[in-house]
Amino acid sequence: MNSEEKIEWNKCNNCGFLQHKSHLRCLNCKHTEFSLIEASETCKLLTYTILKAPPAEFRDQNSYALGVVEFKNGIKALGQIITKENLKTGMKLKPIYTKICDNLDGKKVYTYVFEPF
The rounded percent of the chain whose pLDDT value lies above 70 is 97
Whether residue 5 has pLDDT greater than 90: no
- Which whole number is the average pLDDT over 25-44? 95
Global pTM value: 0.84
Q: Phi, psi (5° rounding) for residue 56?
A: -55, -35
Q: Is 98 helix (H, G, I), strand (E, B) or coil?
A: strand
Cα(first)–Cα(last) distance of the chain, in Å? 15
pLDDT band at 15 (very low <50, low <70, confident <90, very high): very high
Sheet holding 18-19, edge to edge: 18-19, 8-12, 34-38
User: In terms of pLDDT, which residue wins out, 63 or 59?
Assistant: 63
Whether residue 2 has pLDDT greater than 70: no
Helix (H) or strand (E) holding 79: strand 76-81
Whole-number Å distance between alpha carbons of 117 and 69: 14
